[in-house]
Amino acid sequence: MRMILAVWLPAAVALAAAVPSTAGSDPIAIYQIVGDAIPAPLDDLDGDPVRGRAIVAGRKGNCLACHEAPIPEEPFHGNLGPPLDGIGSRASSGALRLRLVAPRTLNPDTVMPAFHQVEGLRRVLAPHRGSPILAAQEIEDVIAYLLTLR
């Protein structure tokens, strides 16, 4: 009995950490990093490039605060990060997924936000704790849009 408990407990703790139970928050998808990518779509979802463009252009993703992108109706684009024009021919969907979900696995000092993480973040405002910036579907939408930038 004791042996069985010892095996079970860590699994339960790991699950609890991966799926925060805060009411009303978006759950974090379980993903696997392979090399410098997350090859599989989060939760097996299909992305929609039109929704993705709206997220990149809008306040939720706020990507234009740091990146230039071919979104002419938004006047101010930052240059803290590399331009996103042409990213679809430079990066695979899996590479983009890792950069959006967990960019600090590649560069621990990056200012690029971890858009689909709730653990290991610094100074998150109380109302946002336990909720990722972008839900799994929104991550897949953003990837679908970025892949059109060729």
In this complex, which beta carbon is closest to ligand HEC, that of residue 40 or of residue 66? 66
- Give 12 or 39: the residue with its C-beta nearer to ligand HEC: 39
Report whether 85 contacts 70 (CB < 8 A): yes
Shortest spacing between CB 137 and ligand HEC, in angstroms = 13
Q: Binding of ligand HEC at residue 136 (CB under 6 A)?
A: no
Specify whether the CB–CB gap between 65 and 78 falls below 8 A.
yes
Backbone torsion region of residue 48, taken as left when φ is above 0, otherwise alpha when ψ lies between -120 and 50, otherwise beta: beta
Per CB under 6 A, does 82 bind ligand HEC?
yes
C-beta closer to ligand HEC: residue 38 or 56: 56
Residues in contact with ligand HEC by CB under 6 A are: 56, 61-63, 65-67, 80-82, 87, 90, 96, 99, 107, 110-113, 115, 142, 146
